[in-house]
Amino acid sequence: MIIPEDFQKIIKDLLGNESLSFFESLHSVSPSSIRLHPHKNYEAKNSTNIPWTKWGKYLETRPVYTLDPSLHAGAYYVQEPSSMFLEQAVKAANVIDQPIMVLDVCAAPGGKSTHLLSLLHPDSLLVSNEVIRSRASILTENIQKWGYPNVMVTNNDPSHFSKLEGMFDLIVVDAPCSGEGLFRKDNDALNEWSLSNVELCALRQRRILKDVWPALKQGGVLIFSTCTYNTKEDEETMEWLSETGKCEFLSIPVQPDWGIVETTFKQTIGYRFYPHKVKGEGFFIAAVRKLDPENDVRLHTKYALGDKCKNEEISQWLEDPSQYKFFSIKGQINAVPLCNYEKINYLSNKLNSILIGIPLATDKHGKLVPEHGAALSISLNKNNFIKVALTLEQAILYLRKEPIEISSNEKGFVLLTYKGNALGWVNLLPNRINNLYPSNWRIRMKAQ
C-alpha cells in the first residue's frame, strides 16, 4: 500500500503521535459485519454485538453473502460497522417516537435508508433518493428486500428538493467524498485520492447541503456523514453550513470504550472513527438542528396517485388492509399506508418516483400476477398464499433463476420461503414451474 504524502500529512496533523498506529491499522483486515432485520428471521452464528446499534453484529468469519438466501430475503443487510452509528445520531435528534417526514438524499446502495426504516415510527415516511439512475436501481432492490411499506424511492438531483420548503423533520446527507476511510478495503479509493479531489468533493458536498437545507423544517435535524478524515470535507463543511443557515450542533452520547473521537472546530461538533481505535472503517458524522424561521408547508394538490384499484381481492394480500390505500399505475397495483397517502400523493407529483410503498401485483386481464416486492414485504399476509419451504440447494437454483423441482399438488402462484422468510414467487402450472424471480436480480455465482 503506497500512501500519498499529502494524505500522510493530513493524518499526522490530526493524530500526531498516534499516526503510526493509524497507518499500521490500514494493513489489518476489515471486520465483517451485518445489520439484522427487526421483523425477519436470522440467527447470526459466531457473532458479537456492535455496541452503538441494536441490530448490528460483528461476524467471526466473512461468509459468501451472495450464496446465502437469507440475504436475498432481506433478513439482514451487509453494512460497515462505523456507519451504523447513524442510529445514535437519530436518537440524539429525538425524533423517532412520533411520525415524521425523512429524506435520505444520497441513499444508494441503501444501508442508511434500511437502517432508518428500522428505527422510525411506523407512521413515518422515508423518501430515499439517489441522483445516479444505475445506483437508484440498486437502491430500489435493497429497499424492496427490506420490505417496509412507508417509503418511496426517488431519482432526483438534490436541487429538486429546495422547492419542498419545510417538508422534512429529518434529512440525512451521506455525502459523496474522497473515500479516505475506505483505503484499507478499496484500492481504487486510494489510487484516485488527491488534494484536488478533496477540494472538489468539499464543493460538491456544500452544493448538496445548500440545495436541501430549505426542505428542512424549523427545528428539524440534518445528519451529515462522510467516509473520510480530512477537515476540509468534514468540520470545515459543517462550519460552512453553520454560516449559511442558522443552526445548532447536537451532542451525541458516546461511551468511552467505543473508541469514537469527538471533534470540535469553531461551532462544529463532530464524531470521527479511526480504524486503530474502532473496530470499523473511517467515518465522520455530525448533526445540526435548524433554527431558521419556519417555512409554510402546503400539501394541497389535485394530482391523484394512479387509478383507484378495482380488484377487491388484492386487499386480502395484506395483514391489515384497512390501513392501506390501493392504487394502480400502468397496470401495477401498489399499496401505501393510509396515514401517508396525502404526502406521497403530493411528493409523487413533485419528484421522479421509482418505487412507492408496496408493489403488490400486475393486473393482466383480470388476473393478479404477484410482484416480487410483495413477497418480501413485512405487511404481506402470508397465510393467504400457498407456501413451500425450500432447501438451500433449491433456494440457490431459484435465485439463479434456474428450473427447480417442487413437490406440491397445488397449482397457481406459490410463495417460496427459506428458513421462515419469504424468498419470492413461482407459478405452478400443470406441466412446468415458472420461476418468477426478477431477471435483473438473479445471482450468477455457482454454488460452492
> How many of the other CB atoms lie within 10 Å of CB of 237?
27
pLDDT at residue 330, as a whole number: 84
Task: Classify 170 as helix, strand or coil.
Answer: strand
Query: What's the mean pLDDT in 426-448?
Result: 90
Task: Classify 442 as helix, strand or coil.
Answer: coil
> What are the boundaries of each domain within the chain?
81-290, 300-381
DSSP string of 289-355, one letter each residue: EE-SPPPPP-------SSEEP--GGGGGGBSSGGGEEEEEETTEEEEEEGGGHHHHHHHHTTS-EEE
Would the pLDDT of 298 be above 90? no
Q: Which of 221, 99, 106 minimizes the C-alpha distance to 161?
A: 106
Burial class (CB within 10 angstroms; exposed 0-12, middle 13-18, buried 19+) of 68: buried
Q: Residue 329: which pLDDT band, with cuts at 50, 70 and 90?
A: confident
Q: Which CATH architecture has domain 300-381?
A: Roll (3.10)
Would the pLDDT of 129 be above 70? yes
Give the whole-angstrom CA distance, residue 273 versus residue 271.
7
Q: Give the percent of the chain with pLDDT over 70.
A: 98
pLDDT tens profile 144-154 = 999 999 999 99
pLDDT at residue 309, as a whole number: 78
Query: What's the mean pLDDT in 41-52?
Result: 96
Q: Residue 346: which pLDDT band, with cuts at 50, 70 and 90?
A: very high
Q: Give the percent of the chain with pLDDT over 90.
A: 85
Would the pLDDT of 94 be above 70? yes
Instruction: Say if residues 165 and 220 touch (Cβ distance below 8 Å).
Output: no
Would the pLDDT of 300 be above 80? no
- Output the average pLDDT for the chain: 94
Instruction: Say if residues 360 and 311 touch (Cβ distance below 8 Å).
Output: no
Q: Which of 281, 280, 263 minimizes the C-alpha distance to 272?
A: 263
Give the whole-angstrom CA distance, residue 354 versus residue 138.
11
pLDDT tens profile 167-223 = 999 999 999 999 999 999 888 888 899 999 999 999 999 999 999 999 999 999 999
Q: Residue 448: which pLDDT band, with cuts at 50, 70 and 90?
A: low
Instruction: Say if residues 245 and 215 touch (Cβ distance below 8 Å).
Output: no
pLDDT tens profile 277-289 = 999 999 999 999 9
Handedness of CA 310, 312, 317, 319 (dihedral sign): positive
pLDDT at residue 327, as a whole number: 92
Q: Which residues contact 396 (CB under 8 A, 6 or more apart)?
A: 67, 69, 443, 447
Catalytic residue among 106, 177, 201, 227: 227
Query: What's the mean pLDDT in 308-322?
Result: 86
Instruction: Say if residues 169 and 101 touch (Cβ distance below 8 Å).
Output: yes
Alpha helices by DSSP H, 98-132: 111-119
What is the distance of C-alpha 316 from the center of its chain? 28
Would the pLDDT of 308 be above 90? no
Least confident range of 38-47, 161-170, 174-183, 290-299 = 290-299
Give the whole-angstrom CA distance, residue 238 versus residue 351.
27
DSSP string of 218-232, one letter each residue: EEEEEEEEES---TT
Give the whole-angstrom CA distance, residue 58 versus residue 33.
4
Output 329 or 53, whichever has higher pLDDT. Answer: 53
Q: Which residue has the cell 468534514?
A: 234
**Percent helix, percent strand, percent coil in the chain, to nearest 5:** 35, 25, 40
pLDDT tens profile 20-34 = 999 999 999 999 999
pLDDT at residue 197, as a whole number: 96
Output 446 or 372, whichever has higher pLDDT. Answer: 372
Q: Residue 244: which pLDDT band, with cuts at 50, 70 and 90?
A: confident
Output 303 or 367, whichever has higher pLDDT. Answer: 367
Q: Is 339 a catalytic residue?
A: no
Task: Classify 56 as helix, strand or coil.
Answer: strand
What is the distance of C-alpha 87 from the center of its chain? 12
Choosing among 3.40.50.150, 2.60.130.10, 3.20.20.70, 3.40.190.150, the CATH entry for 81-290 is: 3.40.50.150
Would the pLDDT of 296 be above 70? no
Q: Which of 231, 121, 134, 226 minimizes the C-alpha distance to 172?
A: 226
